[in-house]
Structure 1
Amino acid sequence: MKASRGPPGPWESTPGGRLNMDGSSATETTRLQALDNLRVFVIFLVVVLHGSICYMAYAPEWWYVLDPHRSMAFTYLVLLVDVPIMPAMFFLAGYFAFPSLAKRGAVRFVKDKLVRIGVPWAFGALVLAPPTAYMIYYSRNLPMSLATFWRTDFWGKAFQQSVYWFLGVLLLLFLLTALAFALSRRFAAWKPEIRRPTWRLFALFVLTMSAGSLLIGVNHPLDQWSHVYVLVYQPARVPLYTGYFILGIVACRQGWFTGQGYRPAPFRWLALCLAFGLLYLTGRIAFPATGQAIAVTAATVLLFNLFCFSSLMAGVALFQARLGPERFFRRSRARNSYGIYYLHPLFLYPLALIFVPLSLPLAVKAAAIVLLAYLASWGVSAAILTRLPGLRRMF
């Protein structure tokens, strides 16, 4: 992409493009196009996930819009898609964090992240999340106005941040990384080197993530949400947020996915991804998420993490194997991935509500609301968020 494409989203580093390990702009040398494509795909899966929940059997009772006709097929889809997408986003954020720190310094880095992530997070959590949460009441014809909901229930039993929770957690990780950079000379002086990871490292990472999730998951199931003051998160997945972010930093410093660095084998990782995904899905279907013996919970958590990690590597491997010329629509989707993530709930759930009374197959409904919401978010992001001077600074 050309340097004139505008400021990056939270996964990127500089207005002129990402930074390479030597600190130069990615537009000056070779861009890691596979990670761009992976990010675009992950954002699309986020929209697929949120649309599919509207049609899954045994959907969360609080979900924004629930179609009266639902299917187990969407339950299976949700169980699979839900696993790898957020760890992949934290990994991508971590991958591009250190080069930006090295070039900008901790103070400039923090100022940049406060603008690019902090402001959109605050606006999303305070202004956009309440109307989105109100869809829970509106879609069920509960007698409460949006204004009343905003003043009362939203700050109590209905408090949430919609998709904007990710920005709050990500901002915290960026701030902690900047603090470590400022306080630790060794961390700040960490030089890039080409080092291929071992299977022992991969196994240790997966086991560490599994142990962390299991310790928390004894009291908090994998799917449970919670919040501490302004931070909203899933407790059992906190180790994954942090772990994949740190793994991204390590991967960048060791040159993973570069021309001379580690390049995952597509067939091997795809086979592992499919195998672990099938095992995880079978386990989730056979055993409920709660009330199981510790051995069952441990097995579920381990399969979750094996599927999550193999999905990340399979995604990178497949996009590296299928690199092609950067065409306009591919560049545009990459440029607007942040905006698509940010805007899609504003289109997706009203569309789901509009489609409720229509006599259409569930697959048609789901595909329609996902594609329409994705295209609408992409269009608004391309036309407004990445063009207007004030918003362009953020998105």
Structure 2
Amino acid sequence: MSGRPSAQEPPAASRVGTERLVFADVLRTALVAMVIVHHAAQAYGPTGGTWPVEDPAQSEWFRPFYTVNAAIGLGLLFLLAGYFVPASCDRKGSGCFLRERWARIGVPMVFFALVVHLPLVYLYVDRPPLGEFTGALYESGWQGLYMHLWFLAHLLLYSAVYVGWRSLSGRFAGAGPPRRAWPPPDHAAVAGFVVGLALVTWVVRWWYPVDEWVPLLFVVPAEPAHLPQYVSLFTLGVMACRGDWLRRIPDRTGALWLGVGLFSAAAMYLLQGLAPELYVDLVAPGGFTGGSLVRSTWETLICVGLGVGLIVLCRRLFNRPGRLLAAMADASYAAYILHVVIVVVLQLLILSPPLPAVVKFALVAAGGVGLSFGVGHLSRGVPGLKVVLGTAPETPHRLRSLRPKG
């Protein structure tokens, strides 16, 4: 996406994994908080999917909120996760890297899917016959089983694919892992990526519209409509590591694309909120239509614009470590895993009071973020809980400063 790769890494790339990027901690923590807030709103508006709680208090203004969040949040988390994978794999070696990935990602995912989610979903759907229940889970892409932890399944899969690619590339090259350093993208490269991602997303949505889930490789939940974004941003994160993009991308590039992202997001809010009928006429969730192309392009502009812009903005504003920030960053992974149970409980607790949807949302969002990060922080001191949450102390050779956060 950024032109011809150089033969050697720039000196800055050697710092990846040996120095804490405070602004990356801030951005990752903010994105996890945004995911929690997104789910806090699920009970109070037209989500397009399913949610365990449906409150009588509803507001149409949450519709653009869902759309904008879905366009940027998890995609940028995939990019940040991919950014720290190459250096981690370099330090540990492929075998150790995959074992630690499984301990950190696979163990919590399997535990919560089978021990927590499965019984809850089975009871929620009124205990149907097991064969019928399992078939329904499969047809819905295992979404009821994994819930939000499908993100972890994808991280594990992408990490394994990366290790396999390194192994094959090194074998064909007759040397160690590839060391290409890609220079930071300029405006033309970012614009080209927007066009390419929008077109690929549009083509995928000819067959798989938004909110349709399938069992990828039979066991991993996937929403194909957003899969091009997730895969490409994880891949760009890997490339960004070699070129040290997070530190080197120019401020001017970030400023321009932040403006593009903010304008696109604001337009989404205004059109969906003030003229929902016109929005429905202009866009479509899928199919071989102009409306689907408009939505695919619009979402891509939000994703790429805010993605590039927020990285540079956080780098400019947040580059000093602090105890609170470090504690929240360290708790962010556990907060992501735990937050759905916390949010659903809070939504149920205020189900009866006749409060406006916005008030209920604000209460659940504030409580969900505070409790999720608080419990995540406290969990680091509980031996058994550290294992099932993937927050156990790392092996001595693994540097704490820039470890992947899932």
Q: What TM-score range do you get, normalising by the shorter chain? A: 0.7 to 0.9
- After superposition, the Cα gap between the structure-2 partners of 1:293 and 1:178, relative to the gap in structure 1 and judged at 3 Å, is closer
Corresponding position of 2:105? 117
- Tell whether the 8 Å contact from 2:347 to 2:364 is kept in structure 1 after alignment: yes
Distance 1:292 1:220, change over 3 A: closer
What's the Cα RMSD here?
Answer: 2.6
CA 153–321 in structure 1, closer or farther in 2 if over 3 Å, else same: farther
8 Å contact 1:269–1:317 — kept in the other structure? Answer: no
Quick one: higher RCO (CA 8 Å, sep 6+), 1 or 2?
A: 2
Q: Which residue of 2 aligns with 1:179?
A: 164
Partner of 1:63: 51
C-alpha distance in 1, partners of 2:386/2:286?
47
- What is aligned with 2:390? 394
CA offset at residue 371 of structure 1? 1.9
Structure 1 length-normalised TM: 0.84
**Equivalents in 1 of 2:319, 2:39: separation in Å?**
29
Aligned with 1:22 (options 3, 10, 14): 14
Query: For residues 171-203 of structure 1, what are the alpha-carbon distances to aligned partners after superposition, in whole Å with 9 as ceiling and x for unaligned?
Result: 000000011111212595433647232222212
Distance in 2 between residues matched to 1:106 and 1:45, nearest whole Å: 32
Please name the residue that 1:44 is paired with: 33
State how 1:1-395 maps to structure 2 within 5 Å. 21-22=13-14, 25-26=17-18, 30-56=19-45, 58-60=46-48, 62-131=50-119, 133=121, 137=125, 144=126, 148=127, 151=130, 154-158=133-137, 159-160=142-143, 161-185=146-170, 186=173, 188-191=176-179, 193=181, 195-228=183-216, 229-258=218-247, 261-265=248-252, 267-281=255-269, 285=276, 286-287=279-280, 289-290=284-285, 294-385=289-380, 387-388=382-383, 391=386, 394-395=390-391
Contact 1:130/1:150 (CA < 8 Å) preserved in 2?
no
Runs of 4 or more, structure 1, over 6 Å off, are none
Separation in structure 1 between the aligned mates of residue 91 and residue 20 of structure 2, nearest angstrom:
17
| Residue 240 of structure 1, CA deviation | 1.3
Q: Is the 8 A contact 2:182 2:239 kept in 1?
A: no
Task: State, as a whole percentage, how many aligned pairs show the same letter.
Answer: 25
Deviation by residue 1:84-118 (Cα, 9 ceiling, x = unmatched): 01111110111000011111111111111111111
Of the structure 1 ranges 116-125 and 165-174, higher mean CA displacement relative to structure 2 is found in 116-125
- Higher mean C-alpha deviation, range 40-49 or range 73-82: 73-82
Task: Tell me how far apart the structure 1 counterparts of residues 211 and 230 of structure 2 sit (CA, whole Å).
Answer: 14
Shift of 1:290: 4.4
Gaps in structure 2 of 5+ consecutive residues: 1-11, 392-406
Q: What is the deviation of 1:283?
A: 6.5
Could you tell me whether the CA contact under 8 Å between 1:117 and 1:171 is conserved in 2? yes
Matches of 1:85 and 1:282 in 2, distance apart? 20
TM-score, scaled relative to structure 2: 0.81
Which amino acid is 1:32 matched to? L
CA distance in 2, matches of 1:129, 1:189: 39
The amino acid across from 1:155 in the alignment is T
d(CA) in 2 for partners of 1:149 and 1:123? Answer: 23
Whether the 8 Å CA contact 1:210–1:305 is kept in 2: the answer is yes
Deviation of 1:34 (Å): 1.1
- C-alpha distance in structure 2 between counterparts of 1:215 and 1:41, whole Å: 31
State how far apart, in whole Å, the 1-side matches of 2:377 and 2:20 are: 22
Structure 1 unaligned regions, length at least 5: 1-19, 138-143
Q: Distance in 2 between matches of 1:223 and 1:283?
A: 21
SS in 1 for 2:101: helix
Q: CA deviation at 1:307?
A: 0.8
Does the 8 Å contact 1:133/1:154 carry over to 2?
no
| SS of alignment partner, residue 215 of structure 2 | strand
| One-letter amino acid of the structure 2 residue matched with residue 174 of structure 1 | S
Deviation readout 1:335-382 (Å, 9 max, x if unpaired): 011000000011111211121101222222111112222222222222
- Given that residues 334 and 390 in structure 2 are in contact (C-alpha distance below 8 angstroms), is that contact kept between their aligned partners in structure 1? no
User: What amino acid does structure 2 have at the position aligned with 1:275?
Assistant: F
SS of the residue 1:83 aligns to: helix
Judged with a 3 Å threshold, the aligned counterparts in structure 2 of structure 1 residues 69 and 131 are, in CA distance, closer, same or farther, namely farther
Q: Contact 2:180–2:242 (CA<8 Å) still a contact in 1?
A: yes
1:3 equivalent in structure 2: none
SS state of the match for residue 14, structure 2? coil
Q: How far apart in 1 are the matches of 2:73 and 2:285?
A: 23
